[in-house]
Amino acid sequence: MPTLDTLNDPNQLRALSAEQLEELAAELREKMIRTVQHTGGHLASSLGAVEITLALHRVMTSPRDRIVWDTGHQAYAHKLLTGRREHFHTLRQLGGVGGFPRRSESEHDVFDGGHAGTGVSIAVGLAAARDLSPAGDPLRDQRIAVCVGDAAIQTGLTLEALNHLGDAKHRLLIVLNDNEMSISPSVGGLSTRLNKLRLTRAYQETKSLTQRVLPRIPLIGRPLFAALAFTKEGFKRSWAKVGFFEDIGITYIGVLDGHDLGELEQSFERAFALPGPVLVHVKTIKGKGYGPAEMDSVSFHGASLPPIDLCLIDPTEEPLPPETEPRRRPKTYTAAFAEELLRLAADDERICAITAGMPTGTGLARFGARFPSRLFDVGIAEQHAVTMAAGLALGGMRPVVALYSTFSQRAYDQLVHDVCQNDLPVLLAIDRAGLVGEDGTSHQGMFTLGPQRALPNLVIASPKDEQELRDLVVTAFAHAGPMSLHYPRDPGEDLPDREGEPLEIGRGEVLLSGGDLLLVGFGPIVQRLLRVAQSLERQHGLAATVINARWAKPLDEELIIAQAVGRRLVVTAEESAAMGGFGDGVLDALNRAGIRVPLLKVALAEGFVHHGAVEDLRRQQRIDAPGILAQIREAMGLREPIVRPDSDEASSVSAA
């Protein structure tokens, strides 16, 4: 990569010619595509943001100036330009370059992100800090920019930040990276407004003028933005005013072509010259430089690249999976959930579903295809999703809100106040509970189980396999109050499809009986406990009882207490933060019953869990079967037996 390979600092970008920049943009895209084929990742958004990245780094002097990437999944070009080029092949792998900005990787990363909609608030805070510095301090000239997507800008958090900023008037550039692919007509009034804007005459005229005039201008050896002075007439016309942003006090510039580097640079410079907050509305093409729509117009130096499906409809964009050997994968928990929901909804018209901008990821897209009027996609608005569900329940419906565990944190107050306080029959489907892998720190589903345990009226379940998930979905709709149902991103146990059957709330089950130890698991980790029990038997002659708790609340205290009495060790297992979780509930129940047996709590260790393959992370956390077995050995003072690698004993805990 002749141009990219010469760049070790983003401030070298200002010395490049227009031709070199064009070359660089193509190289960045090629590098991203080649990497993501092997690592998986959020490719399309980052492809769309290449010119925005170049323009920001050319008009700003990072790290003195601060570039905030909202969500962070558009930052691959930024990463490649700020010292991570040589390690980029380790993207999203254990110990490698992370998928989102990380301050530990580079001084050019301002903020460790991952959740949508945080960027404007962060930038407002940075700008407020800058504006408090004393007169004469060179910091006062600091430029601050935040790049936010059209889906993320509609989060309540960002709307709060914009509302405050419009009044506080801090000098700040907001780049609204608006790629039409991420917007579905169902998502938000503001989207409709943005869609209308794209169709305005002023924008169309600018576009066509740019397209007609630009190719005829000799660009060689001159910065692209200088060349663009010729297009001033068309450029000016795009400085439209938009009611929404202007109404709340933010100067609006747009709509610009997000792949026209010169236009971007000139607008950004003008924005920074203004005394208050400016939003520059930029239209980009998601997946720019790749995919059927783009292949013809872009040169990849003759590289032949296999097609990747970029038609991703989630606003937050599901990351592309890495290229692997094609093999049949068992049905995921998500798919089993979606199928059971669809089956029940066919017979019960009260069942409706809400997604916060993730119809595909949560499996609800199929529900929407079958029952379009009963699926509500509210955009990235978890708070509204949960409170609206409370309203639907008050109106006699049986709503399910399907959220990723980590994103459901946004709706904690709504769960407490709107759903539980009102004791409403809302099913909270907590997908991606537990470790999610390569998306890393911000995305692990580990901080939702504990907080939910304290909530009155809520029942909380997690299934041992995908069949039991179907049972729990049936159970939820037969229950008159709120229920939270946690299940992982993982594939299931490859069990045959069958219809769900109602289960008794608060009733666990004994899967295996043995007199020495008691192993109690919450969720699919129970499968690992069964393997651990086998190993304990074979390797140490210890017999274990294994309980599938099913319910974290109400806990089956009767069963657990009866089984715990007289054991050498009780082991609890969950894939969630250790403090305040399922294990603490078991410990509390045993204490209240006056049963004082040693208890080993298997859970995620204190601290955040970073990116890597789920299996690697489970090994690292010692919550895979061998790790759990090792923890039990330590707790009981057992020595690890020496076995031949091909023996039965070794193989029983070989699969995580």
Q: Which positions from 82 through 111 interact with a second copy, judged by CB under 8 A? A: 103, 110-111
Cβ neighbours of residue 459 closer than 8 Å, sequence gap 6 or more: 479, 481, 482, 483, 484, 505, 506, 551, 553, 554
Which of 382, 438, 466, 574 does the annotation list as catalytic?
Answer: 382
- Sequence-separated (6 or more) residues with CB below 8 Å from residue 327: none
Residues in 130-159 that interact with a second copy by CB under 8 A: 130, 132, 154-157, 159
Token pair belonging to 112: 């460790």
- Residue 577 CA to its chain's centroid (Å): 18
- List 45, 46, 106, 118, residue binding a second copy (CB under 8 A): 118
> CA-to-CA distance for 283 and 266, rounded, in angstroms?
15
Rounded Cα distance, 14 and 467, in Å? 58
For a second copy, which stretch binds (CB under 8 A), given 211-219, 226-234, 265-273, 410-418? 410-418
| Cα radius of gyration rounded to whole Å, the chain | 27
- Segment contacting a second copy (CB under 8 A): 45-53, 85-93, 340-348, 592-600? 592-600
382 is catalytic: yes
Residue 299 Cβ vs a second copy, minimum distance, rounded to whole Å: 40
User: Minimum distance from CB of 27 to a second copy (Å)?
Assistant: 31
Query: Judged by CB under 8 A, which of 296, 325, 347, 606 binds a second copy?
Result: 606
Ranges within 545-574 binding a second copy (CB under 8 A)? 553
Among residues 190 and 209, whose Cβ is nearest to a second copy? 190
* Amino acid identity, position 553: K
**At a CB cut-off of 8 Å and minimum separation 6, what does 468 contact?**
503, 548, 550
Tokens matching residue 498: 């069958």
Residue 189 engages a second copy in binding (rule: CB under 8 A): yes
Shortest CA distance to 97 belongs to which of 106, 206, 12?
106
In the annotation, is 30 catalytic?
no
> 155 vs 284, which CB is nearer to a second copy?
155
Kindly indicate which of the ranges 1-9, 189-197, 490-498, 636-644 contains the residues binding a second copy, using the contact rule CB under 8 A. Answer: 189-197
Preceding omega of 554 cis (within 30 degrees of 0): yes
Among 26, 43, 75, 122, binds a second copy (CB under 8 A): 122
- For a second copy, give the closer residue by CB, 192 or 513: 192
C-alpha distances (whole Å) from 629 to each of 304, 325, 521 are 48, 31, 14
Which x/- pattern, by CB under 8 A, does the window 329-368 give for a second copy? --------------------x--x----------------
Taking CB under 8 A as the binding criterion, the range among 82-90, 236-244, 261-269, 485-493 that sits at the site for a second copy is 236-244
Task: Count CB-CB contacts under 10 A for residue 611.
Answer: 27
Catalytic residue among 29, 283, 286, 553: 286
Closest contact distance (angstroms) between CB of 214 and a second copy is 32
Q: What are phi and psi of 232, to 5 degrees?
A: -45, -45
Strands 551-553 and 459-461: antiparallel
CB of 157 to a second copy, least distance (A): 4
| Residue 213 makes contact with a second copy by CB under 8 A | no
As measured in angstroms, the least distance from the Cβ of 489 to a second copy is 19
Residue number with CB closer to a second copy (5 or 413): 413
Find the part of the chain contacting a second copy (CB under 8 A) among 13-21, 449-457, 482-490, 505-513: 449-457
Shortest reach from residue 612's CB to a second copy, in Å: 17
Max intra-chain CA distance, the chain: 87
Q: Which is nearer to a second copy, 35 or 452 (CB)?
A: 452
Q: Which two tokens stand for residue 422?
A: 């009102």
The least distance separating a second copy from the CB of residue 147, rounded to whole angstroms, comes to 15
Q: Which helix (H) or strand (E) holds 382?
A: helix 382-394
Element (H, E) at 535: helix 525-540
- Window of 37-45, 128-136, 494-502, 534-542 that interacts with a second copy by CB under 8 A: 128-136
Pair of tokens at residue 588 = 């509390």
> Strands (DSSP E) along 325-416, which ranges?
351-355, 375-377, 398-404
| Cα 506 to Cα 391: distance, rounded to the nearest angstrom | 27
Which of positions 244-303 make contact with a second copy (CB under 8 A)? 244, 246-250
Question: In angstroms, rounded to a whole number, what is the distance separating the alpha carbons of residues 348 and 374?
Answer: 11
Q: What is the Cα–Cα distance from 371 to 365, expressed in whole angstroms?
A: 10
Q: Which residue from 552, 503, 506, 529 is spatially nearest to 629, judged by alpha carbons?
A: 529
Catalytic residue among 31, 66, 410, 567: 410
Options 115, 281, 540, 550; binder of a second copy; rule CB under 8 A: 115
One of 330, 391, 491, 502 touching a second copy (CB under 8 A): 391
The nearer residue to a second copy, 292 or 566, going by C-beta atoms, is 566
Minimum CB distance to a second copy, residue 127 (Å): 8
Does 180 sit near a second copy (CB under 8 A)? no
Task: Respond yes or no: is residue 464 known to be catalytic.
Answer: no
Point out the residues that are catalytic: 286, 382, 410
